[in-house]
Copies of this chain bind each other. A is one copy, B any other.
Amino acid sequence: MSNDPYTVISADAHAGLPTPLYRDYLDKKYWPQFDEFLAGRDQAVEDIHRMGTSDRAFAEKWFAENEEGLEGGWDAQRRNKEMDDDGITAEVIFPDADAVESRTCAPFGVGLGLSGDMDPEIGLAGARAHNRWLAEMCADSPERRRGAALVQITADTDDVLAEIRRSYESGLRVVMIPAMWMNQEPYHSRRYDPVWQLCEELKMPVVTHSGPADKESYGENLGIYVTEVVWWPARPLWFMLWSGVFERFPGLRFGVTEAGCWWVPGLLWFWDRLFLGQKGAEKLSSLGITMQPSEQFDRNCFIGSSNTKRREIGMRYEIGLDNMLWGNDFPHPEGTWPRSREWLAKTYHDVPIAETRRMIGEAAAEVYGFDLASLRPHAERINVTPESLGQTDDAANVARWAGHREVGRHWLTGHDFPLAPV
C-alpha cells in the first residue's frame, strides 16, 4: 500500500506555439500589429543573450539535444510522451515554452512578459489568441492538464471579466495576471474586486509567474535581476493579503509560480508578529484585517516552488506541506525535465511518504481541481513510487523529522527557533 505510485503533478509547465503560428488564433484586425511584432523578434533574441539569461553556445546544445522533446511545447501527443517519460501524471500550463530564445512567445509578448502597462486592447487581443490555442491543447487529455488563461487585469474590468468567462467556458481553469501592475492601480485597489469575485466563483486560482522585474533599473547586472526576479511576482501576495482580499473572498486562491519558497517562513513569522502584537492588531482590525496572516496564507495562498530545493524541504513545516507545489518547469532548461525522476529522488528521498504525496501531487490536485481518480491510471502507468524515490525506510524518515515537525511554525508553538530542541 505505502509503495502505491505517486500522482506527480507539475504545478509549473509551459506551452506555446512557435510565435508565427499564433496568427490563426488572433483576430484578423490585429494582423498588421502582429506583423510588426514578428519583425522585432530577432532583436528580442539578441536582448535575451545580452542580458545573460542565456548564451548562444548553451542554446545550440540545448536545441540539438532536445529537438524532439521540445516539440512537446506545442504538440499534445509529444507532450504526453515527455510527461510519461519524465514521471509526470498531470500539469499546470503557463505560457512561453521556449525560455532559451523565446521563439514560442505569445503575441505581443503577453506570455511571461504579461505586464500591467501594456496597451489594454493589444494585451487582451494577444492573450485571447494564446488562450484560444491553449484551450485546444488542453482538450487533449483534459484530465491531465490545467491551462492558465492570460488576463491583463489592469484593462477595462468588463473586458477582463468577459475574457475570464470566455476562457472558463473554453476549458481553462486558471487565471494568470501580470506580476507587475506597473503604472496601473496596485492590487490592493477595490477596482479589482470584481475580478477576484469571479475567480472565486469559478474556482479559478489566480497566479503570477516569475519573469517580470524592475529590469530598467538593473543595467546589465545579472545578479540584481536574479535577486529580484522572485520578489516582484510575489509582491501581489502581500498587497492582496494586507488589503483584505482574502477576507472578502475566502474561497479565492492565489499562487506565486516559479519563485522558490525559501522566503516564505521569514515573511509568515514577520507578518504574524505584526498581527499578534497588540498595537498591530488594533490598527489592522480597523483596516479590516481580522484573520492571522499565516492562516490566510494556508487557506488562500500557495507557492509554485517548481524545482524545490533541499533547503526548502527543510522549511516545509513552516511553509506548510500543502503550500509548496513541486513543478518540472517543462520544457525550460532551468527545470528538471527530462530528469525529473532523478530530481524527485534527490529531493524527497528522506521525506515521509505521506508528506511527499501532498507535496508532489495531492496539494496541487486540490488547488487546481484535478480529479485524482481520473489520474490514477496514468499514475500507475507512469509508476513513480516511494521505492523509486529511495524512500525505503519510511518509519526512520518519520522519526528523523519528528522534532522539526513538532516545532513547526515556532512562533505559534511556543518555541524560539525553527529548530528541533536540542
Asked if A218 is at the interface of the complex by the 8 Å CB criterion, the answer is yes
Bound complex: CA A419 to CA B422 (Å): 11
Stretch at the interface among A83-91, A234-242, A386-394: A234-242
Interchain CB contact under 8 A, B222 and A284: yes
Bound complex: CA A410 to CA B410 (Å): 21
Asked if A413 is at the interface of the complex by the 8 Å CB criterion, the answer is no
Copy total for this chain: 2
A220 neighbours in B (Cβ, 8 Å): 287
Decide: A422 near B420, CB < 8 A? Known: A186-B219, A221-B243, A224-B238.
Answer: yes
Asked if A366 is at the interface of the complex by the 8 Å CB criterion, the answer is no
A2 to chain B, nearest CB (A): 22
A260 to chain B, nearest CB (A): 8
Stretch at the interface among A127-135, A154-162, A262-270, A371-379: A262-270
Asked if A408 is at the interface of the complex by the 8 Å CB criterion, the answer is no
Asked if A188 is at the interface of the complex by the 8 Å CB criterion, the answer is yes
Interchain CB contact under 8 A, B271 and A262: no
Closest chain B residue, CB of each to CB of A403: B422
Closest chain B residue, CB of each to CB of A242: B223
Closest chain B residue, CB of each to CB of A410: B311
Interchain CB contact under 8 A, B266 and A242: no
A250 neighbours in B (Cβ, 8 Å): none
Bound complex: CA A314 to CA B283 (Å): 30
Interchain CB contact under 8 A, B416 and A311: yes
A282 neighbours in B (Cβ, 8 Å): 55
A contact residues, total (Cβ < 8 Å): 58
Closest chain B residue, CB of each to CB of A264: B266
A28 neighbours in B (Cβ, 8 Å): none
Closest chain B residue, CB of each to CB of A189: B219
Asked if A400 is at the interface of the complex by the 8 Å CB criterion, the answer is yes
Q: Choose one: B221, B228, B271; the contact of A287 (CB below 8 Å).
A: B221
Asked if A233 is at the interface of the complex by the 8 Å CB criterion, the answer is no
A400 neighbours in B (Cβ, 8 Å): 422
Asked if A231 is at the interface of the complex by the 8 Å CB criterion, the answer is yes
Decide: A227 near B271, CB < 8 A? Known: A222-B283, A283-B55.
Answer: yes
**A-B residue pairs in contact (CB < 8 Å), sample of 20:** A52-B287, A186-B219, A188-B221, A219-B243, A221-B242, A221-B243, A221-B287, A223-B238, A223-B271, A227-B270, A262-B269, A262-B270, A263-B263, A310-B417, A311-B410, A311-B416, A311-B417, A313-B416, A314-B417, A404-B419
| A contacts, CB < 8 Å to B | 52, 55, 58, 186, 188-189, 217-224, 226-228, 230-231, 238-239, 241-243, 260, 262-263, 266-267, 269-271, 274, 279-280, 282-284, 286-287, 289, 293, 310-311, 313-314, 400-401, 403-404, 410-411, 416-420, 422
